[in-house]
Amino acid sequence: MKIINTIEELQTIRKELKGTIGFVPTMGALHEGHISLIKNARINNDIVIVSIFLNPTQFLPNEDLDKYPKKDAADKRICELCKVDYLFMPDVNSMYQSNDEISIKAPKITGFILEGEKRPGHFDGVLQVVLKLFNLVQPSNAYFGKKDAQQLSLISQMVKNLFLPINIVECDIIREADGLAMSSRNIYLSAEERKEALAISKSLNMTIIAVTKGERDAQTIKTKMKEIMSNLDVEYIAIVNRNFEEIQTIEVKNTIILIACKVGDTRLIDNMWI
What is the C-alpha separation between 17 and 76, in angstroms, rounded?
21
SS3 3: strand
Instruction: For CA atoms 163, 164, 165, 167, give the dihedral sign.
Output: negative
Question: Binding residue per annotation — 230?
Answer: no
Please tell me which residue in 4, 26, 34, 180 is annotated as part of the active site.
34
Query: Half-sphere exposure of residue 28, counting CA atoms within 13 Å on the CB side?
Result: 19
Question: Binding residue per annotation — 31?
Answer: yes
What is the C-alpha separation between 64 and 242, in angstroms, rounded?
29
CA 137 to the chain's CA centroid: 19
Query: Which of 11, 29, 142, 23 is CA-nearest to residue 76?
Result: 29
SS3 261: strand
Q: DSSP letter for 5, please.
A: -
Work out whether strand 2-4 and strand 86-88 pair parallel, antiparallel, or are unpaired.
parallel
Question: Binding residue per annotation — 248?
Answer: no
User: Does the active-site annotation cover 34?
Assistant: yes
SS3 content of the chain, % helix, strand, coil (to 5): 40, 20, 40
Question: Binding residue per annotation — 34?
Answer: yes
Question: Binding residue per annotation — 184?
Answer: yes
Question: Binding residue per annotation — 28?
Answer: yes
Question: Binding residue per annotation — 122?
Answer: no
Question: Binding residue per annotation — 127?
Answer: no
Which helix (H) or strand (E) segment holds residue 194: the answer is helix 191-212
Question: Binding residue per annotation — 32?
Answer: yes
Contact 258, 173 (CB under 8 A): no
Question: Binding residue per annotation — 190?
Answer: no
Question: Binding residue per annotation — 58?
Answer: yes
Question: Binding residue per annotation — 239?
Answer: no
Question: Binding residue per annotation — 202?
Answer: no
Binding site for beta-alanine, by residue number, is 58
Q: Can you say which residues are annotated as belonging to the binding site?
A: 27-34, 58, 145-148, 151, 174, 182-185
Which residues are known catalytic residues? 34
